[in-house]
Amino acid sequence: MSVHDSPGQFLTFPDAEKSPLSIRAKALVFIDPRSRQLRADMERLAAGPLPILIRGETGTGKELLARHIHRGSDRGGLFVSVNCGALSPTYAEAELFGHAPGAHGVSASSRAGWFGSANGGTLYLDEIGDLPLAVQAKLLAALENREVTRVGAQQASPVDVRLVAATSIDLSQAVAAGRFHERLFQYLSDGRLDLPALREQPGNILPLAEYFIGIYSQRLGLPLPLLSLAAQQLLLAHPWPGNTRELENVIHFALLLNGGDEILPEHLNLPAAPDPLAEIRRQAAVLLEAGGPAEQAHLKSLLSELSARLSLF
């Protein structure tokens, strides 16, 4: 992993394509003011002992953030990543905490489980809300008591594991609905990090786009193209429901389409940016048609807003 502390402040995994790791977003940048605050909070929490809950939409880079937290800690053990949604409901407890030989028919040999693998290190549980409620209770007990009892074992084993969990849903609502353990949620809440969606960090969009242009141009053996002003405006106007991962795919696709030295809007395969002034013009036309005193006053207000918006261009 390389962390660039230059003015770009990138956090990346450049070899992620060669790795079996399940990193969905391969880069984070801390230029937008909101993300700079996130970085400060992340580095403060990384050095401490608290468990951490990362809340963010899919594709925002939660696992990447978790790995950086582990790297910033003093823990010498492994970073172990587990997708809770992929755990078998029947064997989730055995997969997490391990099992004794032949326990419940899961295996003839014993296994330490993910907790055992992360002993001395960090256990990352992605989409922790997908854990069955009974397993959530046992997870809380393991964290509080610093020991686990393998399925089928008679005695508990001590463990030293720091938990970093992630979720794309509001766990407080899951608690209210009875689908998430309230005390586990409280246990995680002291170390909470909210990872904003890309659309909430507009200052990060173009630096990330330039980063992916550089990465994929090199990978594809292409000369480095410029990002046209019109393409930049389109990137800034897009809502990015898929966040950083979507931006990476858009740039990759644009480089495959682009045959020249400049990326144009048509290479991005994105819908045209909406005209921010269209609704104001429409309302103004309706008010002019009505022509009453109240409409005239409202029209003056709209014209003032129109003038303010035009001054931004």
Query: Hey, what domains does the chain have and what are their CATH numbers?
Result: 2-196 (3.40.50.300), 199-268 (1.10.8.60), 280-310 (no CATH)
Joined tokens for residue 11: 């956090």
* pLDDT number for residue 45: 94
pLDDT band at residue 151 under the 50/70/90 scheme: confident
* pLDDT, tens only, 223-243: 999 999 999 999 999 999 999
Distance of CA 215 to the CA centre of its chain: 20
Mean pLDDT score, 290-312: 62
* pLDDT, tens only, 79-116: 999 999 988 888 888 888 887 765 555 554 447 688 88
* pLDDT, tens only, 268-283: 988 876 555 555 566 5
* pLDDT, tens only, 238-263: 999 999 999 999 999 999 988 778 99
**By C-alpha distance, which of 8, 3, 5 is closest to 210?**
8
* pLDDT number for residue 249: 94
Element holding 69 (H helix, E strand): helix 62-71
pLDDT band at residue 12 under the 50/70/90 scheme: confident
* pLDDT number for residue 109: 46
3-state DSSP assignment of residue 99: strand
Report yes or no: 174 and 35 within 8 Å, Cβ to Cβ.
no
- The reported pTM is 0.78
Joined tokens for residue 211: 């980063």
* pLDDT number for residue 27: 81
* pLDDT, tens only, 65-84: 999 999 999 899 999 999 99
CA distance between the termini of the chain: 40
* pLDDT number for residue 152: 67
* pLDDT number for residue 262: 93
Percent of the chain past pLDDT 70, that is, above it, reads: 75
pLDDT at 8 over 70: no
- Please, what is the average pLDDT of the chain? 83
* pLDDT number for residue 287: 55
**By C-alpha distance, which of 145, 126, 130, 156 is closest to 187?**
145
Mean pLDDT score, 187-195: 93
- Phi then psi for residue 142, to 5 deg, are -65, -40
3-state DSSP assignment of residue 251: helix
Percent of the chain past pLDDT 90, that is, above it, reads: 54
Report yes or no: 103 and 151 within 8 Å, Cβ to Cβ.
yes
